[in-house]
Structure 1
Amino acid sequence: MESIFNVCNVWKTNRNLYLKYFEKYTLEQLNKVPDGFNNNLIWNIGHIIVAQQALIYKGSNLNVYISDELFGLYKPNTKPTGLTTEVEVAELKILLISLIEKTETDFYNGKFVTYNERMTGTGFHLNSILDAFEFNNYHEGLHFGYMMSIGKFI
């Protein structure tokens, strides 16, 4: 139990770092795909939200808290297909933090009973919900690094 608490603390810190991008960059900058990149700042934010829902919830055979449309826009192997609007940005901003609270509540209420063991596209073996939480933090850290690089070209 203490291990999951530590994982969630890292996750909260990570997500708060992501939130700062909304303060630092304009909508135009969030949507800009710099030369040499496949995506933009806002896509990375949407992607980590979608990936968390897939890793934790779909991996546990539970319903996700995001729309199918959002999932389709930001799932793995996608890239921006248009400009993200202020309304969509506001939704992503809310989801960044609210999904942590929902996930913690669901965890402590015993919703995560089973986990579908799997190998990630990057070669990590996920055997349990704790593995999924830990990998999620790793994955979000990778995308934060991509965002730091993108930010240098905006």
Structure 2
Amino acid sequence: MKKRHEVLFNQLETYRQELLNSVINVTKEEAEVIPEGFNNNIRWNLGHIYLDQYMWIKILTKDNLYSERFNQSFGFGTTPSDFNAETPSFEELKLLLKDQTYKIKKLYGDRLEEEFQPTEMGMYTIEQVLIRTVFHEGMHTQAINDLKKCIRNN
């Protein structure tokens, strides 16, 4: 594996651990709260992060990496009002997120530079997609931190 790919996976693992650490003391009940001024809750943000990373890989590779239930609950434009009995729980999402980076590395670690039809954003390799998802995960980690602050200050 190239040095830059090792660095990329190290970053993915580090940022994912930061995300998981940010919810380690969040209760199931707190994960469901939508404070005034917010559209989503902590649970939704976790599911959206999980979906987003696999969704962009799927757009390139056409590999089916996740169940349709994730799109219905955590896709762009969804909210917790879209949750149903099939929506993964807060605990399930934490476990899925914990394993996701390892699974991506195992499945695609040697295919990061393989070229596919470009996405609408012009990305054509898995490496480019993963770099984009690091930024996206950071935005939602901050949203989770903001949600926690609002929930715990009320």
Provide TM-score, normalisation by structure 1: 0.84
Instruction: Please state whether the residue corresponding to 2:24 is helix, strand or coil.
Output: helix
Counterpart among 138, 144, 147 of residue 144 in structure 2 = 147
Output the CA distance in 1 between the equivalents of 2:94 and 2:17: 10
Output the CA distance in 2 between the equivalents of 1:84 and 1:142: 28
Q: Does 1:50 align with 2:51?
A: yes
Indicate if the aligned counterparts of 2:46 and 2:93 stay in contact, CA closer than 8 A. Answer: yes
Q: Between the two proteins, what is the percent identity of the paired residues?
A: 24
Q: How many residues align?
A: 148
Deviation per residue, 1:104-150 (Å, 9 max, x gap): 01113549844331234xxxx42322110100101101111111211
Q: Which residue of 1 aligns with 2:67?
A: 67
Deviation at 1:20, TM superposition (A): 2.1
Output the CA distance in 1 between the equivalents of 2:80 and 2:111: 36
Q: Which runs of 5+ in 2 are unaligned?
A: none
Residue identity in the other structure for 1:51: D
Q: Which residue of 1 aligns with 2:8?
A: 7
Output the CA distance in 2 between the equivalents of 1:54 and 1:76: 11
Q: Which runs of 5+ in 1 are unaligned?
A: none
Residue identity in the other structure for 2:63: L
Deviation per residue, 1:44-65 (Å, 9 max, x gap): 111000000101233221111x
Q: Which residue of 2 aligns with 1:135?
A: 132
